Amino acid sequence: MRRRGDLESQLQKQRDRLLREYRRNVLGVVVANPRPLLTTLVEEAWISRLDLKRPAPIVRLLDGNSSKADASGVFALIYFLSHVARHPDMVKVESDRTAGPGPVKS
């Protein structure tokens, strides 16, 4: 990983491109790093309480020194993905796609 500030800057640029209601749906993921990267506590509804004035959260999946999984980072990623999957607009889009073509007129 380059400097953390570089990654935060890239994430902020992408976050700014989103509509305001989706700006919490940004998470930086680094595969391996020697130090933990998540600076916030992962708990129930942590994503909905993120401060949009602060940089987007960043997690690592593996400890860069030992190559062991970073449980906090992996858990945060899973929780984040489940949050995005439960988003009402995401569910509506998916149900629209699976609804089928509708009745066939003869």
| Residue 57 is assigned to a structural domain of this protein | yes
Q: The domain containing residue 14 runs over which residues?
A: 4-91
Tell me the pTM.
0.72
Average pLDDT of span 4-24: 90
Tally of domains within the chain: 1
| Residue 103 is assigned to a structural domain of this protein | no
Choice between 100 and 30, residue whose per-residue pLDDT is larger = 30
The model's pLDDT over 27-72, given as tens digits with 9 standing for 90+, comes to 999 999 999 998 888 887 888 888 888 888 999 999 999 999 999 9
**Per-residue pLDDT, 21:** 86
| Residue 96 is assigned to a structural domain of this protein | no
| Residue 102 is assigned to a structural domain of this protein | no
Residue 21 to residues 7, 26, 32, 39, 89: CA-CA distances in angstroms? 22, 11, 30, 22, 11
| Residue 98 is assigned to a structural domain of this protein | no
| Residue 11 is assigned to a structural domain of this protein | yes
| Residue 14 is assigned to a structural domain of this protein | yes
Choice between 40 and 10, residue whose per-residue pLDDT is larger = 10
**Per-residue pLDDT, 48:** 82
